[in-house]
Structure 1
Amino acid sequence: MGAFLNKPKVEKHTARGEGNGLRFGVSSMQGWRAEMEDAHSAVVGLPRGLAAWSFFAVYDGHAGTQVAQYCCQHLLEHITGNADFQAGPGDGDGGDEEEPSVESVVRGVRTGFLQIDEHMRGLLGRRHAACARDRSGSTAVAVMVSPRHIFFINCGDSRGLLSRAGAVHFSTQDHKPGDPRERERIQNAGGAVLVQRVNGSLAVSRALGDFAFKRVRGKGPTEQLVSPEPEVSAIRRCPAGDEFVVLACDGIWDVMSNDELCDFVRSRLQVHGDLERVCSDVIDTCLYKGSRDNMSVVLVCLGGAPSICPEAVRRDAELDQFLEQRVQEILRRSSGGQIPDLVNVMRTLATESIPNLPPGGELASKRSVVEAAYNKVQPCASEDTDNAVLFFRGFS
């Protein structure tokens, strides 16, 4: 869904913070889309006595921004404020008997999603006709981090993962119409999966909002063509092994696999400790790998997160120096006095075996280094930069 621009909007919105033994960074970019429809949440210290708990989320809106923005502002209160979340004996996470049990959290998150979805439907019904026709929806991927557990929450095709001991330990599963469980529910509600979309239109099978797909009479909220029900997974924390959590919209996952993104983030953490910069590196890399969507990523570093490694810093500096020298060589050796444009320089580099490129990011993650080296010799026109984005799409 959504129209595309003639050239991407590459300005980023970034943030960072820390607390409860966690550090986090956030970055988002509109990219090629005509509108920025993503939103995100980062809350350290939750209400109702859960000061040792934290909540992070990415909301990927579609057909408008209304649902994503409303969820960004109100989903957490719907989760922590309902009776299911607050019920049950404590699990000892913070030494407070009033804290919710794992079972209560799982039930409460589900209830919170169903509540906010119904609440938004009611809000639309009470507004004027233009708002009542709002067709926007949003996926949601989140983590709720307690002192003993990480609760992964997913509704839609945004995705979250946990890196532990140098590898992907857990990742959420995308809710796509082609999945057998999702297809069965859609068909039972009288719908069809056409070109991998609900009724040939919507590319996700679970989402908040999207009320045009939630009007089947005689069916409950979780039995509609599109369901607002999240999947919730409780992962016991491993303080020594847990490295980081990544939450991202599908604009990231369209061009990077779980392992690629995990390896890339780990490699960048070993080079510098700026989490905003790591998130920005992820988004830039995905742009040059060919992502056409809005892009948002939240990185949460846990106790076992990689620290700066002098050897990794040295290799990265040597790589940048090598690329700068190689670009200069390509320009010097251009035949007939005709200086190749940036696209052709990158095309040449893409055919070469370059050592120590960042895993998962490869040459795309060093595109800014290549451009800077090029501009020292030949200033790069803006259209060349845009063409460079299109070039990388063919090599990802």
Structure 2
Amino acid sequence: MAEICCQEAKSPPATVATASASAAAAAAAVASSVMDRRRRRLEMKRFRLATDLEESAAEYARAGKRQRLQRTASGSPPCPGAAAPAEAETVDPDRCPRYGVSSVCGRRREMEDAVSVRPDFLTGSSSSRSHFFGVFDGHGCSHVATTCQDLMHEAVAEEHEKAAAAAGSGDEEIPWKEVMERSFARLDERAASWATSRSSEEPACRCEQKMPSRCDHVGSTAVVAVVSPTHLVVGNAGDSRAVLSRAGAPVALSVDHKPDRPDELERIQAAGGRVIYWDGARVLGVLAMSRAIGDGYLKPFVTAEPEVTVTERSDADECLILASDGLWDVVTNEMACDVVRACFRSNGPPEPASGEGTSSSGKAVSRAESDKACSDAAMLLAKLALARRSADNVSVVVVDLRRGL
């Protein structure tokens, strides 16, 4: 009897301990279930965003196909009051091409990209007009990128004027490689002189607040394009990129300057530098590109000398895309060109030389509609980069190079 009473007296504490353990296990299971549900919801949101972007591009393509079918339909009389089809007209070759721009901060805390668009920026005696487009991706601070945004087109215009005066002939004879090299060198010197002059003053920007004694750790990539009626001139230093869509195929007009590119690696080592793999290839383990404007503390390993390409324009040209690496890290050249072409198709053909024209279907096609196609394409590319989890600022410029109807 005494043993039975003892067992009954000991059993309640054991029951309480078991109940506590069960409650703790249940709470852990509930917490794990809640976390799993949250994780699934986030994955579903990301999946839906990417799917929506792909469906948007597909819808652009379907809309463009429907418009082409309507334009090619024959035998249907025009509606009363509809505008008569316009006769074939040629596009004014000197007019600034249509373009669209999109620039977003993305997952970065601060915006360090800058974009420059300068129509008809050459003021010399050249018979044809040329237009300037540039994308600058800053690092360390946005100062060098914004300086390039404000002054690069002026440097190119001045160097072009000097070269034209020396050559005494048309744009085809201009030594564009020398023009671009001298322009980039001028901006590089400007960045160096600014860093020196600011060393004894009060900090004026974030980079100086971090290192008040000097400001030569700031830099920027630069990809610029001069669009003339006959040629495309591209100068690039860094890992931003220019891509031309021609006859449905992408043509890279620049090559990224990465430290592990064989010729760049050889140049850096010949100058006494090293490429260290720290979260990717980096010059001295710091900078993930081998060419840039600024970055005085990494010279001569990091140079501002651009690579220049001169491409003759063709009737098969469709668009020119300039973008920072925030886009190209996650989107291929082919995909970017496909998105732009789909946006072009959905907005109809370009208009004739006058500001307001008519397409073959009798529908008026305004310049605003074509500009909308470029803007839609630039915005869609930026959204696609973010949906693909780009970790950088994303800046995109889309230039319409189509000729005629």
TM bracket, shorter-chain basis: 0.5 to 0.7
Partners of 2:312 and 2:102 in 1: CA distance: 27
Within a 5 Å distance, the mapping from 1:103-114 to structure 2 comes to 103-114=174-185
User: Cα RMSD over matched residues?
Assistant: 2.0
- Choose from 30, 36, 39 the match for 2:111: 36
Other-structure match for 2:323: 248
Three-state SS of the structure 2 residue aligned to 1:127 is helix
Q: 1:210/1:102 Cα in 2 relative to 1: closer, same or farther (>3 Å)?
A: farther
**Secondary structure class of the residue paired with 1:255:** coil
More helix by share: 2
| Segments of 4+ moved more than 4 angstroms | 99-103
CA distance in 2, matches of 1:32, 1:153: 28
Larger CA Rg, structure 1 vs 2? 2
When residues 89 and 297 of structure 1 are mapped into structure 2, their CA distance, relative to the original with a 3 A threshold, is: same
C-alpha deviation, 1:80, in angstroms: 2.0
Secondary structure at the residue paired with 1:45? Answer: coil
What is the rounded CA distance, in whole Å, between the counterparts of 1:280 and 1:36 in structure 2?
A: 17
Alignment partner of 1:233 is 2:315: no
Distance 1:84 1:192, change over 3 A: farther
Task: After superposition, give the CA deviation of every residue in 1:336-384 in whole Å (9 maximum; x if it has no partner).
Answer: xxxxxxxxxxxxxxxxxxxxxxxxxxxxxxxxxxxxxxxxxxxxxxxxx
**2:305 is matched by which residue type in structure 1?**
E
Give, in angstroms, the shift of residue 170 of structure 1: 3.5
Residue aligned with 2:258, SS: coil
Match of 1:124 among 175, 178, 195: 195
TM normalised by structure 2 equals 0.64
Inter-partner Cα distance in structure 2 for 1:31 and 1:88 = 45
1:76 to 153, 173, 179: 153
Q: Equivalents in 2 of 1:108, 1:122: separation in Å?
A: 21
Q: CA deviation at 1:161?
A: 0.8
Q: Relative contact order (C-alpha < 8 Å, sep 6+): which is higher? A: 2
Q: What is the CA-CA distance between 1:103 and the residue it aligns to?
A: 4.4
Equivalent residue letter for 1:180: P
Is 1:58 paired with 2:118?
no
Question: What does residue 294 of structure 2 align with?
Answer: 209
- 1:133 corresponds, among 215, 220, 227, to 215
Equivalent residue runs for 1:203-352 within 5 Å = 203-214=288-299, 224-238=300-314, 240-272=315-347, 273=370, 274=372, 275-304=374-403
Identity %: 39
Cα displacement (A) at 1:263: 1.1
- Name 1:393's counterpart in structure 2: none
* Cα contact 1:19–1:44 (8 A) shared by 2: no
Whole-Å Cα distance in 1 between the matches of residues 129 and 94 of structure 2?
9
Shift of 1:88: 4.1
Match of 1:153?
235
Label 1:19 to 1:36 Cα distance change in 2 as closer, same or farther (>3 A): farther
**Counterpart in the other structure of 1:26:** 101
Measured in 1, the distance between the counterparts of 2:105 and 2:256 equals: 22
Q: Aligned AA for 2:394?
A: M
Q: Distance in 1 between matches of 2:272 and 2:109?
A: 33
The answer to which structure has the higher strand fraction is: 1
* AA aligned opposite 2:290: S
What SS does structure 1 have at the residue aligned with 2:346?
coil
Shift of 1:246: 0.2
TM-score by length of 1: 0.65
Mapped to 2, the partners of 1:32 and 1:87 lie a distance apart of 47
**Cα offsets for 1:11-63 (capped at 9, x unmatched):** xxxxxxx9725101101100100100000111110233256100101001111
Which residue in the other structure is 1:317 paired with?
Answer: none
Choose the corresponding residue for 1:198, options 266, 271, 283: 283
Aligned 8 A contact 1:156 1:204 in 2: yes
In the alignment of these two chains, the number of paired residues is 272
Gaps of 5+ in 1: 1-17, 91-96, 215-223, 308-396
SS of corresponding position for 1:233: strand
- Provide the C-alpha distance between the structure 2 equivalents of 1:261 and 1:38, rounded to a whole number of angstroms: 19
The secondary structure found in structure 1 opposite 2:167 is coil
Q: Return the letter of the residue paired with 2:199.
A: H
Where 1:25 maps in the other structure, the secondary structure is strand
Residues 87 and 228 of structure 1, relative CA distance in 2, 3 Å threshold: farther
Amino acid at match of 1:228: A
Question: Aligned partners of 1:60 and 1:282: how far apart in 2?
Answer: 17
Query: SS of the counterpart of 1:69?
Result: helix
Question: Which residue does the alignment assign to 1:366?
Answer: none
Q: CA offset at residue 174 of structure 1? A: 0.3
Task: Determine the structure 2 residue equivalent to 1:48.
Answer: 123
Q: State the shift of 1:125 in Å.
A: 1.1
Is the CA contact 1:150–1:234 (under 8 Å) kept in the aligned structure 2?
yes
Q: Distance in 2 between matches of 1:283 and 1:102?
A: 37
CA contact (8 A) 1:87 1:100 kept: no
